[in-house]
Chains A and B, each alone.
Chain A
């Protein structure tokens, strides 16, 4: 690509463009003028867009396609559900990516991708060429696994609130409208799903609200998995210490359908359960654009990538990031991890476009904080290193771990984490 792109950049048809020297120069030289299109402005895509500009000294032209005017953070959104924060606290503009970093932000959806022609068709009708494409589409819900949710009005009544936005606020409003003594039921899909500790944190936040505002109410957790998926000891301790008798956890409860009209959960083996407020987190897969572009090579759900470059194992010149990928062992689908994907992918794309060597040994970390009360948090951390033999990222033995105990200090660090990842991703 370098030759074609470089020639285009200096002006096709100019006196110098035809010189043999040019191709040699462009090949060994730089990624100047190369075009990278990023689809999706979440933690993965926005970070990739910014770091493509940083790592290329602003030589690569970067276009970010994102339908929403603002970035709304999923991390910290359980605090909105609990009533401790407002949506405005989690909402940030994309303008700094444009002003400070020269990323072109296009507010649109991608209708289709043509990997042969290397073009992206926008929903509004335009078409963008790319040298390399980065797809960071996040997750889509597998509604087909819950047939009752296809009925009219079901999705407006039974919320997931698993993509930060209008549903987060709507769930909060349902909890506020619920009479004291009611039951809030949260269902968790089989792993892998976005944000492994998220459901257990949500249970804490709802119970915290009930404890002060609706003390006769109860939180029921129905987990399709065999056990708590993250920070088990810390969550069970937090439930006992803070919300004794208010939270009930039932593992091995897989929801197979929902009757939204009667607020009833149907399980594969267990009795139906009716609750005042249902919060169903459905099974997940990579976003639609990944599937439509045939990137979802793992069970038609997730996108397999080369962990040195994040390039799709199925489609050349397309890289996939964030929750949409088939993760490496022990790698969570988290905002922190998507941010790390974005940087490592950006570094690889810059190197590939400039004809340089890739980094030999990617190493990056994950940190996830969860609030267990309005002020106290716990964390899980891990460090992941590339294994050249197994061609994947593996947790470094002896690294990582969880909090010793929940604390207000970690609650403060959790906000420090949030402010910093938001700035690192967007500002």
Chain B
């Protein structure tokens, strides 16, 4: 009985440690690079655009337009040029999923 309790307690602790473990995923760290100017989690301070909770497709299209030069910019065309289309899509999806 004592043994069984030990196992249960250990399992519960494992679940606590593992169950809600935040996954440090690649896209989250990529997106964190954008947060320097666009706010932690995409929630910006005054003066720059918030990205959290925005429409994914619109955000991706905007980034692609910066990248192609279709949309004029001071520096976003220079930054988007450093990312593949797929990376920009994944980053857009990340910010779209964040709370406003």
Contacts and interface: CB of A to CB of B under 8 A. Distances in A.
Interface of A: 6, 10, 15-16, 19, 21-22, 25-26, 28-30, 32, 50-51, 54-57, 59, 336, 339-340, 343-344, 347, 350-351, 354, 356, 359-365, 367, 379, 381-385, 396, 398-401, 403-404, 407, 409-410, 412-413, 415-417, 419-424, 427
Interface residues of B, number: 43
A336 B26 CA distance: 20
Given A26-B17, A30-B21, A381 B75 contact: yes
27 contacts: A16-B9, A16-B13, A28-B18, A29-B14, A55-B24, A336-B36, A340-B33, A343-B32, A343-B35, A356-B24, A363-B33, A363-B83, A367-B79, A381-B75, A381-B78, A381-B79, A399-B82, A400-B79, A401-B75, A410-B74, A413-B48, A416-B45, A420-B36, A421-B36, A423-B45, A424-B35, A424-B36
Nearest to B26: A359
B84 to A, nearest CB: 9
A382 B75 CA distance: 10
Interface in B2-44: 2, 5-7, 9-11, 13-14, 16-18, 20-26, 28-30, 32-33, 35-40, 44
B29 A362 contact: yes
Given A54-B40, A416-B47, A10 B81 contact: no
B89 to A, nearest CB: 14
A362 B87 CA distance: 12
A379 B77 CA distance: 13
Contact of B17 (A30, A383, A422): A30
A112 B87 CA distance: 42
Given A25-B14, A336-B36, A360 B26 contact: yes
Given A396-B82, A420-B38, 15 more contacts: A15-B6, A19-B10, A22-B14, A54-B40, A57-B20, A57-B22, A339-B36, A379-B74, A383-B81, A383-B83, A396-B83, A403-B74, A415-B47, A420-B36, A421-B37
B33 to A, nearest CB: 4
A398 B35 CA distance: 22
Contact of A15 (B9, B25, B32): B9
A343 B29 contact: yes
Interface in B60-86: 74-75, 78-79, 81-83
A417 B37 contact: yes
B33 A367 contact: no
B16 to A, nearest CB: 8
Nearest to B76: A381
A401 B24 contact: no
Contact of A419 (B21, B23, B28, B47): B47
B72 to A, nearest CB: 10
Contacts of B5: 15
Contacts of B2: 15
B30 A423 contact: no
Contact of B39 (A384, A400, A423): A423
Contact of A351 (B20, B24, B78): B24
A22 B14 CA distance: 7
A384 B30 CA distance: 11
Given A29-B21, A409-B74, A423-B45, A385 B36 contact: no
B74 A16 contact: no
A422 B33 CA distance: 14
Contacts of A356: 23-24
A383 B6 contact: no
B76 to A, nearest CB: 9
The 3 closest A-B pairs by CB, nearest first: A383-B82, A416-B47, A399-B82
A399 B79 contact: yes
A421 B40 CA distance: 9
A55 B38 CA distance: 18
